[in-house]
Amino acid sequence: MDIHGEKILILDFGSQYTQLIARRVREAHVYCELHPFDMDIEAIREYGAQGIILSGGPKSVYDEGAPVVEEALFDLGIPVLGICYGMQLLARHFGGRVVPAGKREYGHADLVSKGSPGPLFDVFFIEGKSPVWMSHGDHVEQIPAGFEVAARTDNAPVAAIQNVDRDLYGVQFHPEVNHTPRGEILINTFVRKICGCKGQWTPGHIIEDAVRRIRKQAGNDKVVLGLSGGVDSSVAAALINRAIGDQLTCVFVDNGLLRLAEGDQVMATFAKNMGVKVFRVNAEDRFLKALASVTDPEQKRRIIGNLFIEIFEEEAARITDATWLAQGTIYPDVIESAGGKTGKAHSIKSHHNVGGLPEFMKLKLLEPLKELFKDEVRAIGEELGLPHQMVWRHPFPGPGLGVRILGEVKKEYADILRQADAIYIDELYASGYYDKISQAFAVFLPVKSVGVMGDGRTYEYVIALRAVETKDFMTAGWTKLPYDLMGRISTRIINEVRGVNRVVYDISSKPPSTIEWE
Ligand code: XMP
């Protein structure tokens, strides 16, 4: 089966939500790709999508130089769904009028059906209504000939338009965001019912397809992969192992800045349980030496990143005659580095990725996850038999504890931090909080404060605890953990970890703080 045989093309006008549209389409089990709005019409024709979605965007359609699609797009006979800016563009193209709204509408609104809802909207409404999320400054004042108004809100008399005969639809609201509770249904209906896609993009099929492609690409060649224990490199390793077994060699560089027992877990999962060839390089001493007396966070990052590459390169050359370098690059990394012609920085961050390797060893790149979003990577990881906890683990920065030990990194500090962090995470799992939090970790503060233990005074280090909730890691709020849980964690850390007599909880949001402390 060709799982790319049915697909949706998403043209990006620079909305902060464009990637969410793609994720909703994928959740409907249909492949889709995001391309800049000015994709060449011939390329669009050749691409052969079953449907096209026009995203939102920050501009107004009547602005000079406002982004437009090639006119012929609407003559291709392919169903189109325009979202926000996309709808305004659609309306204007067919002769409607778009004007600035009296006031910018931002937030929840009740969408009310007008007339008969038609094929796209009929399951979207419940008793003629559906709550939606609005974020716009313009609206369609006059709809084009051949279209009808499908829905309105109190502030937007034209909140959805359609030309059912030509399969052209426009919505002023954002069905892709979670604040539109039935938005997923709308996008599902568009891709499955209007565009006629069957939904072949499932974890099982993705794996089958990837296995086939890896085999074809690599043939009998050897492949080397830098395993970090993170989700992406782990899933890539499991997938490539499924495809070509012992043609794959993994190098796992233990930099001494990993979490408690992390190195052993990686070895147990891959080498022992899955039979993957993994070489563990114990490089703690080299990293600590390189970091001695360095306090600047960015310099620490650079040192850790460069040394990782150096060691990986040495080891890879020594233990394998690979001609391919496998990487766990995922779709958001691809979109990000493509940049797009919209000139807009996409919101997912990748600038930190220390795991990224420069061009070296003249290896060809094998990137089996590069079409997948993180949630898809996790889903196939589970399907490939990776442990649930590994697949759903919170993100861990490339420089590891190196940026969670403030200032100079020392083994003593790393050992204290590892133990404190393990207790913290352990308690979060036990209380059921771990999965509700986006990222939680302990931070080592190299300051001493006075305490009292038994009859004596102590003078020991401080551990800070961080827990945040976020969707995109660009903004984040701190988690309101229950006091009794915080109390239990603090007591355990102070009792069980030698060298710590004080635990504090970080109550800063991002911005203006960041998630990590360095
Ligand atoms: P900040 O601290 O910038 O973190 O709010 C946002 C997300 O990025 C992760 N992060 C990193 N990841 N290398 C990485 O691979 C890094 O140097 C790095 N710094 C921060 C952080 O853990 C959070 O998920």
The percent of residues above 90 in pLDDT, for the chain, comes to 88
What is the position in ligand 1's atom list of the atom closest to the CA of 514? 5
Whole-number pLDDT of residue 308? 96
Q: Which long-range contacts (CB under 8 A, 24 or more apart) does 415-420 make?
A: 416/444, 416/461, 416/463, 416/497, 416/498, 416/499, 416/500, 417/442, 417/443, 417/444, 417/463, 418/259, 418/260, 419/260, 419/493, 419/496, 419/497, 420/444, 420/463, 420/493, 420/497, 420/500, 420/503
Confidence of residue 357 (pLDDT cuts 50, 70, 90): low
Whole-number pLDDT of residue 241? 97
pLDDT tens-digit series, residues 172-202: 999 999 999 999 999 999 999 999 999 999 9
3-class SS of residue 498: coil
Testing ligand 1's pocket by substitution, the residue of 516, 517, 518 carrying the most ligand atoms inside 8 A of its CB is 516
What is the separation, in whole angstroms, between the first and last Cα of the chain? 47
pLDDT at 339 over 90: no
Whole-number pLDDT of residue 382? 96
Centre of ligand 1 to C-alpha 474, Å, is: 10
Hey, whose CA ends up nearest to atom 9 of ligand 1?
Answer: 397
Centre of ligand 1 to C-alpha 352, Å, is: 6
Centre of ligand 1 to C-alpha 516, Å, is: 6
Mean of all residue pLDDT scores within the chain: 93
Catalytic-residue membership of 84: yes
pLDDT at 479 over 50: yes
Catalytic residue among 174, 315, 346, 371: 174
Hey, whose CA ends up nearest to atom 20 of ligand 1?
Answer: 397
pLDDT at 203 over 50: yes
Phi and psi at residue 61, to the nearest 5°: -65, -25
What is the position in ligand 1's atom list of the atom closest to the CA of 301? 17
In this predicted model, which residue has the larger pLDDT, 357 or 500?
A: 500
- When pLDDT is averaged across residues 343-347 and rounded to a whole number, the result is 35
DSSP percent split of the chain into helix, strand, coil, nearest 5: 35, 25, 40
3-class SS of residue 118: helix
Testing ligand 1's pocket by substitution, the residue of 333, 509, 515 carrying the most ligand atoms inside 8 A of its CB is 515
The percent of residues above 70 in pLDDT, for the chain, comes to 96
Whole-number pLDDT of residue 360? 57
The pair of three-digit structure tokens given for residue 445, joined into one six-digit string: 């503060």
Confidence of residue 361 (pLDDT cuts 50, 70, 90): low
Catalytic residue among 32, 84, 197, 250: 84
Centre of ligand 1 to C-alpha 395, Å, is: 8
Cis-peptide, bond into residue 511, ω within 30° of zero: yes
Testing ligand 1's pocket by substitution, the residue of 259, 401, 473 carrying the most ligand atoms inside 8 A of its CB is 473
Catalytic residue among 6, 33, 176, 460: 176
Centre of ligand 1 to C-alpha 397, Å, is: 5
Confidence of residue 358 (pLDDT cuts 50, 70, 90): low
pLDDT at 343 over 60: no
Catalytic-residue membership of 394: no
pLDDT at 356 over 60: no
Whole-number pLDDT of residue 346? 34
3-class SS of residue 280: strand
Q: What is the DSSP string of 320-337?
A: ---SEEE----HHHHHHH
pLDDT at 342 over 50: no
Residue 419: DSSP 8-state = H
pLDDT at 475 over 70: yes
pLDDT at 350 over 60: no
What is the position in ligand 1's atom list of the atom closest to the CA of 395? 24
Computed on alpha carbons and rounded to an integer, the radius of gyration of the chain in Å comes to 26
The reported pTM is 0.90
Ligand 1 shell residues, CB under 6 Å: 301, 349, 352-354, 395, 397-399, 403, 439, 473, 510, 514-516
Whole-number pLDDT of residue 101? 85
Whole-number pLDDT of residue 55? 98
pLDDT at 347 over 80: no
Catalytic-residue membership of 408: no
Contact of 25 with 53, CB cutoff 8 Å: yes
- When pLDDT is averaged across residues 87-97 and rounded to a whole number, the result is 97
Confidence of residue 220 (pLDDT cuts 50, 70, 90): very high
Map out the domains of the chain with their CATH numbers.
7-194 (3.40.50.880), 203-391 (3.40.50.620), 410-505 (3.30.300.10)
Whole-number pLDDT of residue 336? 79
Confidence of residue 437 (pLDDT cuts 50, 70, 90): very high
Whole-number pLDDT of residue 453? 86
- When pLDDT is averaged across residues 444-462 and rounded to a whole number, the result is 95
pLDDT at 341 over 60: no
Contact of 253 with 308, CB cutoff 8 Å: yes
Confidence of residue 348 (pLDDT cuts 50, 70, 90): very low
